[in-house]
Structure 1
Amino acid sequence: MANQKQSSRKSRIEKHAKKKKENFILNILIGVVFILVIIVGANILLNNDTKATVNENQSEQKATEKENADDKADKNESKESSESEDTEADSSSEPTDENANATEDEKTEDEKTEDVTEDQESEEDEEENEIIYGQSEDPNVDQVMINQNWKPIGTVQTGDHISSYDKGTTDREEMEKAMEYATGVSVDNMIVWWVGNGGKPNENVVGTISNKDKSQIYRVYMDWVDGQGWKPTKVEKLKSIDR
């Protein structure tokens, strides 16, 4: 009986030890599996993060490359536009042969006009410089003026000339133009106080005139030149109107 009890006890101890060993092995295996699960999960997470980072970097790189390409295209377009504008400006600033000729013709005409104006001014200055001033024994005469450069004023009359002093006649109108020429008082601003023969029919014709406000009073002497009209010979500046 004792041997049987010892044998049964030994058998239980062995079973218990075997079961304990199996549990230990099983726990080890479970730990290994858990560790493997952790390792695999970590690798998956790391791979996902790496892919995300790579994708993000690639996206940023593509965006940068696109932006650089757009900037380069804009610069090229701006450069081409600038060159086009410069070309147009050069084209517009460079005159064509036709425009150059027109400009040259205009310049020539302007120069001609300036030359004519200068000649006229020169003639006027010369005439003014040729005026001889003198005095008169007539107490009403303030000053006597004679200009050797006075010329006949021209005429539309033909044939034998006969002096006419009547207002409205061609001869009278030409006399008034001659008095305007000698005194500077325009016909529109002129009052003719008297005009008549001072001697021979076509010589020493005398006219007394003034401007309309009577601040300038003159006595003008004129001679007729056949085919050329009346020519002033002397002007007397008067102190007061005498007829």
Structure 2
Amino acid sequence: MKGKYSSPSRDSRSESRGKRRKTNLILNLSIGFVLLLIVIVSATIFLGGNNDDTAGNQLEKQTESAQNNKSDQTEKDNQSNEHENADEEKVDSTDSTDSSVENEDNTEQKQESKNQSSEQQNPTPAKEEDAVVTTGGTEENVKKPIENPSWKPIGTSQAGEHTSVYDQNSVDWSEMSQAISYATGIGQDNMTIWFLGNNGHNKSVGTVSAKGQKEKYRVYIEWVDGQGWKPTKVEEINE
């Protein structure tokens, strides 16, 4: 009979052990769950921190890249401005050079025109070796008549049909005086005109002397259309 039936105390111990196992199992599961939560939370915090660091690094890199790009763009703009300024300086230098050359050309043209005008108003003195002393004179008081094939018209500022004018304030009188000065070699400012009058159509004759000198000269001139008065003969005369 004893072998078939267990005692109450044995059953109680068995039941107690079963409860402890369940309690231990639940406690172990709880501990495991808590550990899992700790692991998850730690991983989240760690990974989140890394992400923040990564984002911060990316932001820093982007900012640095933007600054570098801005610096590069500024440098490019400066270089572009330098090139533009250099090009402008080249253009200004070219324009200045062209303007200088043009001014020099204009100056040369003006000087050439001035020289031509001066030559017309004050022609090169005739060659003395070309002068020819003719025999005798038209009057008894003529000492020596001279003709020179090198004489040329002195030039004129007059236009249109010419009419001789014997007014000392006229252009024609001034140009006749220049022709007489040209033929005799006496400067106009050092020349005394004793007589200047008509000697035929577009022909004139004048008597002059140098100031302070006794020698007098009778000068024959004639008008050449478009070219002015031209000496034809000079006579050295007695007083």
- Please give the TM-score of this superposition, normalised by the length of structure 1: 0.45
- Please give the TM-score of this superposition, normalised by the length of structure 2: 0.46
